[in-house]
Structure 1
Amino acid sequence: MGTVAALYRYPVKSMLGEELTRAEVTTRGLTGDRRFAVLDGSGAVGSAKHPRKWGELLRCRSRLVGTGAAGAAGAARVELPDGTVLSAGAAELDARLSDLLSRPVRVSDVPPEHGALERAVPEYPGGVPDVLRAGAVVDGTGSTITSGRVSPGTFLDFGAVHLLTTASLRRLRMLHPGGDFDPRRFRPNLLVDVPDVDGFPEDSWAGATLRIGRALLRVTVPTPRCAVPTLGHDELPADPGVMRAVAREHRVPVLTLGALACLGVYADVLEPGTVETGDAVTVRSARQ
């Protein structure tokens, strides 16, 4: 059906990550992905989904170092906006990030039991479920937000692996030619190249299994999008129109939450294994 065009890992949640040619996929996702996060005293897990509070994290880059031969996760290094590189867990890194975010924070590899995940509420329809929009509050930054939880025992939002296809990005470029649909804006783990497919092929994958390299994944739900794709990423400038285009052109049902602006899918890992760029991606429908 397609091939793996790119692999991405984000060792520290909501920081820029690293592009890989090979990755070990475990039941928790790509080894080292979202292994660390920035936490503050309120119990919030740092996420650029709340740009006014955490958006500065996207000016930092995280990389994993010291991985073993079997792909076991090592330590993380963080490159700050001024180019300084410090190790996750270092007191100096916590101090520098506290200065960057204007409040005390620390980097941790231990997910809090009740880690809050805050999300800014966009004006366009489909940005958050209507039931959550009705209960949104204005916080100290002046942002209207909702608050949920990270996936238990992890710093993941929901699924272990996030996949996105070139076909979906190609379709959006056609529908909104002025938008910058660079895949890095959407922070997938796997970018799947499907050159001969039009539209949004992921929409038909719910419940399907994907054989990718030595790993076997099961697609669970579409990926609801937040404000992050509109923000500046490294050399990519901010583009507020990106998510308005997604919301206008691609709102799909998600569980019992109604039709949401989605792009890509989440998947669970049924069989761990190695995945490399160029690996074939085979889809087996849930009905087969």
Structure 2
Amino acid sequence: MLIGHIKEIVRHPVKSFRGESVQQTKIMDYGLYGDRSHAYLDETKKGDFLTITQFQEMVRYKARFAGEESMNKYPKVEVTTPEGKDFDWKDQELIKELKNKSKRKISTTEYTPSHVPIGPIAVEHVLLATDASLEKLNELWGEDEVDSRRFRPNLILSLIEKKPFIEEEWIGRRIKIGNEVEMEFVGHCKRCMIITVNPDNAERDSGLHKTIIKENNNIFGVYASVIKKGDIHVGDEVSCRA
């Protein structure tokens, strides 16, 4: 059954940094090509990933791949700072800035195009949200317009039937995207403090999180595991079956 099409594709080359919206990419066994493939480690916490939870200004740094996708090695990862300066993600000046701001000792880690473990991605391969759910959340919150970047989804679906939160009924079902990709919905996404951080100024506001807790049991978005990899594009049709 046709349920809609891909409205937006977002990948995050560096974990916890702002992602990049792309028109097309590959779905790998682990999810979107290069998603969370590079990360900073917090050596003050024995090498745990440095995330927005510890250093919320990470949401203001934007990471992108500068070049064509390759299965041999990733393109160069470029980072734009909140002040508009561009760096290679491993540039020592950038790392020094992150260390000073976060007050943590930082190291780096990266994976290969063929393998990114579940740890840096999250608990599953791909996170999806729908336009209908975002619009309903706007209504429920009643404050500023809800910025989808707060939820860090990989795919935003534009639904034919604009039924809010219908994606939560899809657990256990499979979808097909375009002519190649297949995924299975495997779980709900329970939300944490990260959604309280404004992507533009890194300031915290608990109102949105409280709304989701009250109105939707602290769930927003669904996780999917990759069944069949391939290419996806903005505008691809999405069909769902049992």
**TM-score, structure 1 length as denominator?**
0.75
Q: Which residue of 2 aligns with 1:104?
A: 105
**1:268 shift after superposition:** 0.8
Q: Which residue of 1 aligns with 2:213?
A: 247
2:124 is aligned with what amino acid? G
Contact 1:230/1:242 (CA < 8 Å) preserved in 2?
Answer: yes
Q: Which residue of 2 aligns with 1:124?
A: none
Contact 2:57/2:202 (CA < 8 Å) preserved in 1?
Answer: no
**1:26 shift after superposition:** 0.4
Residues 122-271 of structure 1 mapped to structure 2, 5 A cutoff: 152=117, 154-213=119-178, 214-234=180-200, 238-251=204-217, 261-271=218-228
**1:229 shift after superposition:** 1.7
- Unaligned runs of 5+ residues in structure 2 are none
2:87 is aligned with what amino acid? L
CA deviation map 1:82-128 (0-9, x unaligned): 222111233332222112212221232159xxxxxxxxxxxxxxxxx
SS of the aligned residue for 1:81 comes to: coil
Residues 1:45 and 2:49 aligned together = yes
SS of the aligned residue for 1:159 comes to: coil
1: CA distance between counterparts of 2:182 and 2:141?
Answer: 34
**1:235 shift after superposition:** 6.4
1: CA distance between counterparts of 2:137 and 2:164?
Answer: 9
Q: Which residue of 1 aligns with 2:87?
A: 86
- Unaligned runs of 5+ residues in structure 1 are 112-150, 252-260
**TM-score, structure 2 length as denominator?**
0.88
Q: Let me know the Cα RMSD of the aligned residues.
A: 2.2
2:142 is aligned with what amino acid? P
1: CA distance between counterparts of 2:48 and 2:167?
Answer: 31
2: CA distance between counterparts of 1:205 and 1:64?
Answer: 32
**1:197 shift after superposition:** 2.7
Q: Which residue of 1 aligns with 2:56?
A: 55
CA deviation map 1:128-169 (0-9, x unaligned): xxxxxxxxxxxxxxxxxxxxxxx9564111111100011111
Report percent identity of matched pairs.
29
2: CA distance between counterparts of 1:73 and 1:273?
Answer: 17
1:36 is aligned with what amino acid? H
- Relative to 1, partners in 2 of residues 1:185 and 1:102: Cα closer, same or farther, differing over 3 Å? same
Q: What count of residue pairs does the alignment treat as equivalent? A: 234
Q: Which residue of 1 aligns with 2:14?
A: 12
Q: Which residue of 2 aligns with 1:119?
A: none
